Structure 1
Amino acid sequence: MIQNPTPGKALQYAGEFCFPRLSGTRFEEEAQGTILKIFDSLGLEPKIEQFQADYLLIKLCSRIALLPFGILILLGGIFYYFESPLSALVFFILALFIGLGFALYCQSSPEFLGLKNRFWSKNFYIQIGKEKPEKEILIIAHYDSKSQSFPIWLRILVYYLGGLFSVLASGLGIFLVYKYLTASFFLPLWGWIFIFLALIDFLPIFNRLDNKSPGAVDNAGALGVIFELAEIFKEQFLSRTRLWLVLTGAEELGLLGSRNFVKNHKAELGPNQSWVINLDGLGVDYSISALSRLGFPGKKTDPELNNLIKSIAQEKNLKFKMIRASLGFSTDAYSFLKAGYKAVSLGNINRFIHSSEDSIEHLISVNLDDYVQLLKELIYKIDQAASEKNDKRY
């Protein structure tokens, strides 16, 4: 019989990590030491994988992603205002292709500039269950944190609306120049509008990445859930499945930890035999929350796994809700979705993310306990289903 969660235990574990722990700093190393200490207290020895990361590179990418858009649209607007249509046309076309391409590149490939790697980060994981299972269950949470100067609503407004407006401005600029050349149709006011829209793309430069967030909701609460699951399952027999509890580093620097984990284990973990549950942003309200879509371009999280989680929540009388994240919002689950895995992301988006206000006072203990209860039941059901499927073969 699998033991029940201990009320408040997940919050107790989470409290060990409620301090700023930006990747590439000594505070990340302190968090890594805490991970090893807790696993040791549970009698578990995690496997450790190192990978290279560049704090400066990711910090740079997030701030200059829209800069080419801004410069090129600004020049296009100036030349349009002074009635130099061919020059304006060149800059609007460059904005549409170079500006958009650079923004997408920064979003998807933070190593692309090829700068020298500055530090080593680490992933930690333990495996519980059969050596050659029929199903692999991965429960994942990142342990790093970060803060940003802009509040979350302003980040969404600047990055995503700014990017959208830039694409529209580039296309409209090309159209207006075409009308100017073919029909002598000229609206000088649009020159100023282009200049104004271009200035929005310069705002991310002022969104500084720093180490001021205690990272309670993002993501100490999830770490607490992971460690309680380790305590519950460390001596339990899983008949047909293997449970992976994975703690990733440098998630806040472009999902680097999960991307390296996928690269290292793709051959071992078949996408058709593996279910991935990412935990990010737990403990902020009284519901079980799941994200329906992640990343840019958006990828849907696995509907079958989401429905199974929803049914378990209903069985346990837990409130469940699906959340549609803003375009481009990513968690570690996105790395697995891109690689073809069945993956979901549990947790809520909240105003404390990446801010100095993300302290332990905002963690709701009973909600963390609910996630432990739900995941315990989910693991048990997947293992039971795999066993029943195997029995039918014989």
Structure 2
Amino acid sequence: MTKRSAEAAATAPATVSDVRQRNRSQALRSIILAGSTTRAELARESGLSVASVTNLVSELIAEGLVMEGGTVASSGGRPTTLIEPNPSGAYLLGADVGERGVAVELFNLSMARVDREFRGGREGEPIDAIARDLDEAVEALLERNPGALDRMVGIGLGLPGIVETDEEGRQVLYAQSLGWPAIPISQLVSHDIPVFAENGAKTQAMAELWDGSARGASEALVVLMGRGVGLGIITNGQLAHGLSSSAGEWGHVKIERGGRLCRCGGRGCVEAYVGADAILSDWRDAGGEFEGSGWNALGELLDANSSGDPAATRVVDELVATLGSALGGLVNLTNPERVVIGGWVGLRLMETLAPRIDAAIRREALERPGSQFTLSASRFGGDTVALGAAMLPLNAIVNEPRKAHVGS
């Protein structure tokens, strides 16, 4: 459903069918999130009667999405039957797509990762190579897990750019920073399965909001720091998209007029100062010697800083100050309850610099909003973008009933 059609649906009078579908979605989402619950707990959570919940659960069992598990003792005497997601009731693929390759992960309906496949690893891959990587990774996963294909809901793509969706549901990727042409999402995966797409920072935010460090937050910022820098903005418990889904392009907010050249072609962007390439370039310019440009190289910088190396200390001090300024401005703009930092660069920094980053943000923000947030690292680590991407097809099955399935 597109943004406008969703808004129109939200303002239209609710029918009995609408209400029932909303209740079904809430019940299924609650069961998947809880992992194990009871009809009585679902009734308390939803405000529905136990009889209504029992009917909804029966329908979900008929769809093959839910099953009865074990039992727990109850105060009334008879044991209470547990309700659980049926792990093999549906399968979902989530892909973390970057300019150096793709990581595709297979999840069951319990949102447990079943398998994982990586393709690529080459510097600056063109978009056609990324599409081949995706196809090869999906093919490898399906070959190893043949039983997943018949119950495959679809693949979600977390992409390095802006993903726009038109009125007919067609999606297009705009990845200006990577120099890729605008490309229809349908051209990225040739397998005959439904494809869903969103910006990678937003899929990270979806995962953290679902069951991570942003769970239960009404207002939050979920920061993605890697070679690229992005942001998911959560407001009123929902992910913000803006007019055409480009909300959250924090990496290309200018923090120095006429400053460093950024990959997007602009100057002075946040990414040009706190992205992985910028951080390591600063250290090299300061005299640092290291190999590679990834996790280990950044670790060497942080180790050198911890050991008192003057060059590394200068680089890290400037990095923390810049990050504090950039995030402090966002705190003033959005007044978040939580700030979550993820992405491989963000996770590496949070391992040793979290207290300093926290203090820098508060120092640069206004006193009142700067005292109202908590800072934490992404809960799911390096799998967050792929997990959030898998939630795109998950939302489809949560929101749309399936035909009752026969057999196991």
Q: What's the TM-score, normalizing by structure 2?
A: 0.25
Q: Which has the higher strand share?
A: 2
Higher RCO (CA < 8 A, seq sep 6+): 1
